Amino acid sequence: MGSGKNILLADDESGFLFAASVALRVAGYRVTVARDGREALERLADAQATGVPVDLLVTDQQMPGMTGTELIAALHDRGLDVPVAIVTGCGESPSSPVFGNGGFRGFIEKPLLPGDLVAFLGRIFAASHEEAA
């Protein structure tokens, strides 16, 4: 199902990070985890340096030190072009101007089951495939 797509999953909730990464791996995705926005930036820089592209960054909106919105802004500041999906427990859709760029793929609300995240990513990649066709 995941076709070996490379997912970077950034979330400060260790239980969610573990369960989601396991579910995504079982679904056929390659998964790298980051416990906050700064670590996600490091992982993205490492991926770029090694030539292993990240197919999708899935980031929590509310994280200490750097929110998902701030992480996306930092990506743009560094010239890192990575598609992004937001996981939010805020109960509302992200409204920052950074979400209007072509890299934003959607958002899903917490609480969610790991299978919900797998289905969400499946829809994102199916839509991206249809756009490319």
pLDDT digits (tens, 9 = 90+) for 9-27: 999 999 999 999 999 999 9
Extended strands (E) in 3-76: 6-10, 30-34, 56-60
CATH number of 6-132: 3.40.50.2300
Question: In the numeric block, which tokens belong to residue 133?
Answer: 């066709």
Q: How many CB atoms lie within 10 A of CB 70?
A: 16
- pLDDT confidence of 73, banded at 50, 70, 90? confident
Count Cα atoms within 13 angstroms, Cβ side, for 78. Answer: 16
- Whole-angstrom distance, CA of residue 51 vs CA of residue 45: 10
In what order do the strands lie in the sheet containing 56-60? 30-34, 6-10, 56-60, 84-88, 104-109
Percentage with pLDDT > 70 across the chain: 84
**Which residue is listed with tokens 């090694």?**
50
Compute CA 92 distance to the chain's CA centroid, rounded to the nearest angstrom: 18
Distance separating alpha carbons of residues 53 and 119, to the nearest angstrom? 22
pTM: 0.87
